[in-house]
Amino acid sequence: MQDILTGLNPAQKQAVEAVEGPVLILAGPGSGKTRVITHRIAYLIKVVGINPHRIMAVTFTNKAAREMETRLNLLAPSAAGRLTMGTFHAICARILRQDGLPLGVPADFVIYDDDDQQSLIKQAMAELELDPKRYPPASIRNAISQAKSQLVLPAYYFEKGRSYFEEVVGRVYELYEKRLKQNKALDFDDLLLKVVQLFKQHPEVLARYQERYLHVMVDEFQDTNLVQYELVKMLSAKYKNICVVGDPDQSIYSWRSADLRNVFNFETDNPGAKVILLEQNYRSTKNILEAASCVIAPNSGRKPISLWTENESGQPIAVVETFNEQEEAQFVVSEIEKLTRYEKFSPGDIAILYRTNAQSRALEEAFIRYGMPYRLVSGTRFYQRREVKDIVAYLRLLQNPQDSVSLQRVINIPTRGIGAKTLSDLGQFAREQDISLYESLVNLSDENTPKPPIPSRGLKPLTDFGLLLKSLVADARNLPLLNLLDRLLEGINYREFLFASEDGEERWDNILELRTVAQQYQEIVPPEGLSVFLESVALVSDLDSLEEGVSAVTLITLHQAKGLEYPVVFMVGMEEGVLPHSRSFDDPAQMQEERRLCYVGVTRARKRLYLVRAFRRSLMGQSNVNEPSRYLKDIPQSITKGREKQPLSEQHTAASAVSPVIKQHLQSAGMSIKSASPPAPKLLELEAGDRVLHPQFGEGIVTSINRVKNDAEVMISFHSVGMKRLMLSFARLTKL
Ligand code: ATP
Ligand code: MG
């Protein structure tokens, strides 16, 4: 019993002991909100004697639920597995499996992911003969999802629809619902919506749950949406023992309909609610906390929550400027090397936080190169991401058209209406004819070859695809890698295809990031560029697997890092356009959210915080010279240290202010400060027998030179990677 209350300060103790009636705990990061919830559960079970079966605790992520369970196990081992703990979605799925029947939800329903959802919407639109060009399925899908998270049903659009678009949404929504039902499927939004409907339409079911849940607790309450709050209200209506904890300054999910009004309305919705403020931070050093409070202060309309700590001042915040994203990654990795070798930190103590998933690529490559273990939280590793794998499969196919595994992977990407039956018929035909699948496709447009027994409706998309592949395969022999990639993306309309899915923008960002990689192979004469590229991708992907249990550095987005803490935190990409993200520039509300996101990042750190940026960043296929993030300027110099001696705002505004580090880089790259893209360099004077150095391939000897127009093809025998043929104008060669 003792340990449940002893590890708490008076305010936390008060929050744990306030077990009757509604409670709102508002407090800043690291003040023990999550700890209070965990101890409160233990207290309810072990001191008040509540049956764990009658307690519900909602967490924001599955990972948070697992962590809470682990901690709870130490405090109240008997409770394990008996209380209801998890995300809203997980809890709702469980309720529907048990009790969905009265609402017509069968116990064996399937849950549709984004992709399934998207294709069903397209199908519904086709049935309604709606033009997907005029009404992009992705925006219809978003509208439906928004509607569901605000408890809006199709009927609303027919009664109150304000525009033709809304009417269209209503019609698709209605049919989409019908089809979901026929497929015995629910989408993600349905999980919540259906439970609310179930409770509204079947009060007897609700009554059972209300009776059961004596206590309901919600962590990260500032990021709940209206449906989620509605649900919490319903469940706790009988006993009114509802305890929510949150921090409005950490609200970062408005793009998923999270609604801060839930926090602001809590007291009015729950008369007599106790409000408890926690002010002591246990997580971070004084310096980190001060940096955090300076970052969040400029946001308007906030009710500042005071936050102090007894922790030591700690080290100053390291503000580090690097040349580009590769040097940024290299800096991070070598710093980690020092932290783990000379200081007491282990890789598991360290996290790297970034704004967008695409930023992980340069970092991942550095980790792999240095053989340092890393763990990518939830997001999929770059080269394992579906869209990246799809395009790599295409490229593999273009290099080797006989690769039928790759062909089968991409034959319906983007959707071409080639059914499984058609595909297997074609496969059988190819086997009978003793030709490859690729050949059988290409032959379709050749009148002099035998045709497979496939109805002409099915034959058309196959023929078209065969023609497309044939021309791309020819391109692969002649075009430098980046041009080939662009031709491919254009040929298959990939951008349009991706944008039709919910996370299209992010997935397209990954493709643009793949372009950045392809750029590095431009200098290699086709078709060798393609094979060198594919070889290196294969190697990177191969090293991907990581044993569980190994202490590894965490790579994680700012959004996913919410609620977590690490002794050492690197925030990378501290640049205008990255954090804050350029997408938010025009929208003041979004800009406030970007600032909160930065605040969440800074407050994940316990002992050390590094704020790292690149002077020049190639991200998603674009190379930009970025200004330092405005948030850096908000942190007083008295608590920072770094390579930068001048005030940040004066950096890089004039060529004379460029730091020596960058100047040196620019010179070695043959660039001047004024231009963001490299000017056409003068060709290096070379002849056979010269020794040269290449930044990627190392040292080698020129074996021959073949002059073409204003350029030259150079054959070089590299000591470590063998013979390569490079375009001199692109090759970053130094004569030794
Ligand atoms: P966030 O807003 O980031 O989710 P939080 O308010 O939920 O933060 P916790 O994660 O619960 O904060 O706590 C932060 C850290 O401080 C944890 O390591 C926790 O164990 C520790 N902590 C909290 N309260 C105390 C206490 N009274 N004594 C010692 N350590 C504490
Ligand atoms: Mg927390």
**Tokens linked to 295:** 């970052």
Whether the per-residue pLDDT at 731 is higher than 80: the answer is: no
Q: Binding site: residue ranges? A: 27-34
Whether the per-residue pLDDT at 80 is higher than 60: the answer is: yes
Whether the per-residue pLDDT at 250 is higher than 50: the answer is: yes
Measured by CA distance, the residue closest to atom 14 of ligand 1 is 30
Ligand 1 centroid, distance to 730 Cα (angstroms): 53
Whether the per-residue pLDDT at 17 is higher than 50: the answer is: yes
Using one digit for the tens of pLDDT, what is the confidence trace for 299-338?
A: 988 887 889 999 999 999 999 999 999 999 999 999 999 9
Instruction: Among 41-55, 242-256, 516-530, 704-718, name the one with the lowest average pLDDT.
Output: 704-718
Strand-pair category, 691-694 with 640-642: unpaired
CA angle 543/549/550 to nearest 5° reads 50
CA angle 217/222/224 to nearest 5° reads 70
Q: Quick one: which ligand is closest to 247's CA?
A: 1
Q: Quick one: which ligand is closest to 604's CA?
A: 1
Instruction: Among 55-64, 178-187, 486-495, 567-576, name the one with the lowest average pLDDT.
Output: 178-187
Residues with a catalytic annotation lie at 33-34, 219-220, 250, 604
What is the end-to-end Cα distance of the chain in Å, rounded?
Answer: 73
Pocket test for ligand 1, best of 6, 31, 40 (most atoms within 8 A of CB): 31
Neighbours of 104 (CB within 10 A): 10
Q: What is the mean pLDDT of residues 30-40?
A: 96
Q: Any residues with Cβ below 6 Å from ligand 1, and which?
A: 7-9, 12, 27, 29-35, 247, 250, 282-283, 563, 565, 603
pLDDT above 70: percentage of residues in the chain = 90
Using one digit for the tens of pLDDT, what is the confidence trace for 166-206?
A: 889 999 999 999 888 877 788 888 989 999 999 999 999 99
Residue 673: the pLDDT is: 34
Q: What is the mean pLDDT of residues 512-541?
A: 81
Ligand 2 centroid, distance to 604 Cα (angstroms): 10
Task: For residue 61, name the pLDDT band (cuts at 50, 70, 90).
Answer: confident
Ligand 2 centroid, distance to 605 Cα (angstroms): 13
Residue 216: the pLDDT is: 97
Ligand 1 centroid, distance to 140 Cα (angstroms): 42
What protein residues have CB closer than 5 angstroms to ion ligand 2?
33-34, 563
Residue 547: the pLDDT is: 42
SS3 content of the chain, % helix, strand, coil (to 5): 50, 15, 35
Task: For residue 400, name the pLDDT band (cuts at 50, 70, 90).
Answer: confident
Mark 17-38 as b/e (b = at least 16 C-beta within 10 Å).
Answer: ebbeebbbbbbbbbbbbbbbbb
Measured by CA distance, the residue closest to atom 16 of ligand 1 is 282
596: closest CA among 247, 250, 245? 250
d(CA 333, CA 456): 57
**Cα–Cα distances in angstroms (integers) from residue 292 to residues 176, 331, 366, 591, in the given order:** 45, 23, 29, 17
> E strands within 193-345?
215-218, 242-246, 274-278, 317-322
Neighbours of 264 (CB within 10 A): 13
Q: What ipTM, to 2 d.p.?
A: 0.99
Residue 539: the pLDDT is: 60
Ligand 1 centroid, distance to 34 Cα (angstroms): 7
Q: Quick one: which ligand is closest to 562's CA?
A: 1
Pocket test for ligand 1, best of 16, 35, 604 (most atoms within 8 A of CB): 35
Residue 666: the pLDDT is: 41
If you search the block for the tokens 């008295």, which residue do you land on? Answer: 638
Name beta bridge partners: 713.
706, 727
DSSP letter for each residue of 255-290: GGT--THHHHTHHHHSTT-EEEEE-B--SS-HHHHH
31: closest CA among 284, 223, 219? 284
Ligand 1 centroid, distance to 562 Cα (angstroms): 13
Residue 368: the pLDDT is: 83
Question: Among 3.40.50.880, 2.120.10.30, 3.30.310.10, 1.10.486.10, what is the CATH number of 382-539?
Answer: 1.10.486.10
Task: For residue 542, name the pLDDT band (cuts at 50, 70, 90).
Answer: very low
Residue 517: the pLDDT is: 85
Task: For residue 253, name the pLDDT band (cuts at 50, 70, 90).
Answer: confident
Q: For residue 186, which phi and psi values (nearest 5 degrees)? A: -125, 145
Higher pLDDT, 216 or 453: 216
If you search the block for the tokens 């850096």, which residue do you land on? Answer: 632
Residue 93 CA, distance from chain mean position: 24
From the alpha carbon of 563, which atom of ligand 1 is closest? 4
Residue 359: the pLDDT is: 92
Mean of the per-residue pLDDT values for the chain?
86
Using one digit for the tens of pLDDT, what is the confidence trace for 654-708?
A: 333 344 444 444 444 434 333 333 344 478 888 888 888 887 677 888 888 887 7
Task: For residue 583, name the pLDDT band (cuts at 50, 70, 90).
Answer: confident
The fold of the 10-101+192-280 domain, in CATH, is Rossmann fold (3.40.50)
Measured by CA distance, the residue closest to atom 24 of ligand 1 is 32
Answer yes or no: are the C-beta atoms of 244 and 215 closer than 8 Å. Answer: no
pTM confidence score: 0.71
**Tokens linked to 480:** 């430098």
Tell me if domain 10-101+192-280 and domain 297-380+547-641 are identical in fold: yes
Q: Binding site for ATP: residue ranges? A: 27-34
Pocket test for ligand 1, best of 9, 34, 307 (most atoms within 8 A of CB): 34
Measured by CA distance, the residue closest to atom 2 of ligand 1 is 29
527: preceding bond cis by omega (within 30 degrees): yes
Residue 134: the pLDDT is: 85
Q: For residue 194, which phi and psi values (nearest 5 degrees)? A: -65, -35
Instruction: Among 46-60, 80-94, 249-263, 526-540, name the one with the lowest average pLDDT.
Output: 526-540
Instruction: Among 30-34, 104-108, 306-310, name the one with the lowest average pLDDT.
Output: 104-108
The yes/no answer on whether domain 110-183 falls in CATH 1.10.10.160 is: yes
Domain ranges for the chain: 10-101+192-280, 110-183, 297-380+547-641, 382-539, 690-735
Task: For residue 418, name the pLDDT band (cuts at 50, 70, 90).
Answer: confident
Contact partners, residue 438, CB within 8 Å, separation at least 6? 397, 401, 402, 404, 407, 469
Half-sphere exposure (Cβ direction) of 221: Cα atoms closer than 13 Å: 30
From the alpha carbon of 250, which atom of ligand 1 is closest? 2
What is 297-380+547-641's CATH number? 3.40.50.300
151: closest CA among 193, 114, 214? 193
Residue 2: the pLDDT is: 54
From the alpha carbon of 8, which atom of ligand 1 is closest? 27
Q: Quick one: which ligand is closest to 6's CA?
A: 1
pLDDT above 90: percentage of residues in the chain = 48
